[in-house]
A and B are shown apart, each in its own frame.
Chain A
Amino acid sequence: MTFSLVLQAIFAGVTNGIVYALVGMGLSAIFKGSRVINAMQGEFAVIGAMTTVLLLSNAGWPYAAAIAAGALTGALLGAFIEVAFVRHMARKNASEDSFLLLTIGLALTLSASILYFVGRDGHLLPPLGGEGVLLVLDAVIQFHALWLIAIGIAATLLLRAFYHRTTLGLSMMAASIDADGAATTGIDVGRMRTYTFVLGGLLGALGGILVTPLVAVDYTLGLNLTLKGFAAAVLGGLTNPLGAAVGGITLGLVESLAIIGISSSYKDVVAFSVLIVIMILMPQGILGRAGRRGG
């Protein structure tokens, strides 16, 4: 095992970790705000990325506009799902498992719709910063991956600032911690839940758009991302979106270091064994209770 190989594994781990983190942050933002475990979080990523692909290659939009529209589509889809389904179920006091079934159903429906309307083919987006790579001690990282990491970190910091510094963010936190209490202070709890889904959709779509230059997006990508994002979110502490960022990067690094440290045949065995150990030692997630309070 050479140093450059370790460095290569770290590059890959952080890049993948940021993608897991973006999906996981959206998942935990939604869980925090609505107690819904969103099994279709990965579909937000696929819808966002597919919209960007179609606008860019079929409609000829400029790349930046297509990205913005893709992210917005994810946000709007989030709002639609809350308004069309979650709101009505919540009014009738649906249980957490009913919501889980709802989102699993939506995930399958959306994946099938993409297959029907867009087809089986995988689609790529042009990498940000061009096709070039940065060479560090014989290990390579694509310019796009650097952009992905930078944007991912920026999104994480913005999310933290949003929850702590803005009235809307604080209201959303209040509504999620104590809905009745928040309602008495004049916070529209239902609307906050809609915003939570908007935020989740936005983060998911952003993750999808950012990963598409590295991994071709097709109708099957969603489930894969949901699983990794869910692992990231649980690892970090499900009610803490910032924990998902820590969880995502941990997961990405453990996976890639397992490949060079032991064997690619045992990558998942090693990665998930490590996760199980972490969960036994830190059942509240890596950021733990302190993280939960801070959100």
Chain B
Amino acid sequence: MSLSSIAKLAGVAALVGLSAFAARAQTSGEPIKVGAIVSATGAGAGLGVPERNGLLLAEKDINAKGGINGRPIKIIVEDDASNPDTALSKANDLIFGQKVVALLGPSLTASTVAVGGVTSTNKIPQIAFTGIGPAVERQRKCVAHVLPPQRLNAQALLEYAKSIKATKIGVLHDAGYGNVVMAELKPLADKYGVKLVAVEKFEIGATDTTTQAAKVKAARPDAVFIIATSATPFRNVKQVQISQPIVAAIGSSSYEYVNAMGQAADNIVIPEFVVGEDPLPHQKEFVELYRKTYDGTPKNYEAAAWDAAHIIAAAIKKAGPDAGGEKLCEAMKAPYSGVLANYNFAADDMTGIPIGSFVFSKLVGGKYTRTPFRVAQ
């Protein structure tokens, strides 16, 4: 860690500390404790670190605005090191040791499924930073999700393809995240009148996908979908000179990947939610506050965690801090307009994000711009 980043961290810590102090001036009484589990280290750190930033910012924001009916909120953030077993033991500690009223997170699907077992049997409301995963999650009616289900991500890709009249699509996807989205994409493609002319897979962490990219190119698609969590396929499609429009799933939207794309980060469209460089009106306050606090531009995961914290605060405000899990669960199912999207946790997928919440960003010379395209509700 460089000296400047240590200084930055110290600055953030000081700000958070100061805000807690400032909050004490406005709020009083015992803090209301909410637990949070993120993957701050390990393979999921690319998600967990931004989520932690979003949570701490939300805590500061909620307390600065008078807390929950005058009482401050305290978000206790724990790291699961990207490991579901660790997530489970942290959840047990937060729920039974620290007596939190609700749980936010975790960052990864496997951890979410593991933690959901505890929260749903003990009627503790949970808002996960994942899209809904395996079938068992549909029965857990008190585990909500602030990121879209993979079916919606697949739909967003197809909506954009439809808008540019692309009917022949080539796909490059990885064997993890890409596989899951692909499973939803295949049955949907027919409905959109889209033919998948080449579907090429590569392993997670692959360092070269040029042969797969060449195979996609040889199928002469109208557009290419890339569903991955790495920069490699993006560089490779440019290397084999694929000139068709490239549409990438939200998994590749972090600055980490965009920076690693180098010159290939150009002319790529991503259906996502927050374009910090050009936020929608209702996202501006969050983006400004984030920039002031962290000296960086937020993306989707920061916003998802921010929304989760605000939703639970609103639910506690409505039901009362001592209402108990079941009432809190009902309270958080009210429709909510967040920074990332509009949610309705009463929906079947425990998310309720409409496809109209997507914005479509375009990478131009390594920088995000927001395109005017939106899907009509």
Chain A interfacial positions (CB closer than 8 Å to B): 2, 4-5, 8-9, 11-13, 15-16, 116-117, 119-124, 131, 133, 139-140, 142, 211, 214-216, 218, 220-221, 224-225, 256, 259-260, 264-265, 267-268
Contact = CB atoms under 8 A, between A and B. Distances in A.
Interface stretch (B22-30, B200-208, B303-311): B200-208
A264 B202 contact: yes
Interface in B181-235: 200-203, 205, 207-208, 210-212, 214-215, 218, 231-232, 235
| Among all A-B residue pairs, the 4 with the closest Cβ atoms | A122-B260, A8-B214, A216-B260, A215-B207
A5 B240 contact: no
B207 A133 contact: no
Nearest to A58: B2
B89 interface: no
B1 A133 contact: no
A15 B207 CA distance: 12
Given A4-B218, A140-B240, A218 B210 contact: no
A216 B264 CA distance: 12
A8 B203 contact: no
A140 B241 CA distance: 8
B365 interface: no
Contacts of A256: 211
B214 A9 contact: yes
B239 interface: yes
A224 B262 CA distance: 21
Given A16-B208, A216-B231, A264-B212, 7 more contacts: A9-B211, A116-B1, A117-B2, A122-B231, A211-B207, A215-B208, A216-B235
Contacts of B139: none
Interface residues of B, number: 30
B45 interface: yes
A121 B46 CA distance: 10
Nearest to B200: A264
8 contacts: A116-B1, A124-B260, A142-B239, A214-B239, A215-B208, A218-B260, A220-B205, A224-B205
B98 interface: no
Nearest to A256: B211
Contacts of B232: 215-216
A8 B207 contact: no
Contacts of B200: 259, 264
B101 to A, nearest CB: 33
Contacts of B203: 267-268
Contacts of B218: 2, 4-5
A129 B235 CA distance: 17
Contact of A259 (B45, B46, B211, B257): B211
B122 interface: no
A113 B263 CA distance: 28
B337 interface: no
Contact of B263 (A15, A131, A220): A131
For B45, B212, B232, B257, the residue with the greatest tally of chain A CB atoms inside 10 Å of its CB is B212
A202 to B, nearest CB: 21
Contacts of B45: 120
Contacts of B202: 264, 267
A11 B241 CA distance: 14
A121 B5 CA distance: 14
B205 A264 contact: no
Contacts of A267: 201-203
B208 A259 contact: no
A69 B73 CA distance: 52
B17 to A, nearest CB: 24
A119 to B, nearest CB: 8
B153 to A, nearest CB: 21
A216 B211 contact: no
Contacts of A5: 214-215, 218
Nearest to A223: B205
A53 to B, nearest CB: 12
A166 B251 CA distance: 53
B256 interface: yes
B210 A121 contact: no
Contacts of A140: 239-241
Nearest to A9: B211
Interface string B38-72: 00000001100000000000000000000000000
A218 B259 CA distance: 12
A8 B208 contact: no
A17 B260 CA distance: 23
A8 B260 contact: no
A145 to B, nearest CB: 9
B260 A121 contact: yes
Contacts of B5: 119
For B201, B214, B256, the residue with the greatest tally of chain A CB atoms inside 10 Å of its CB is B214
Nearest to B255: A121
A12 B210 contact: yes
A155 to B, nearest CB: 20
Contact of B239 (A4, A133, A211, A260): A133
Interface string B1-23: 11001000000000000000000
A122 B259 contact: yes
Contacts of B257: 122
Contacts of B201: 264-265, 267
Contacts of A216: 231-232, 235, 260, 262
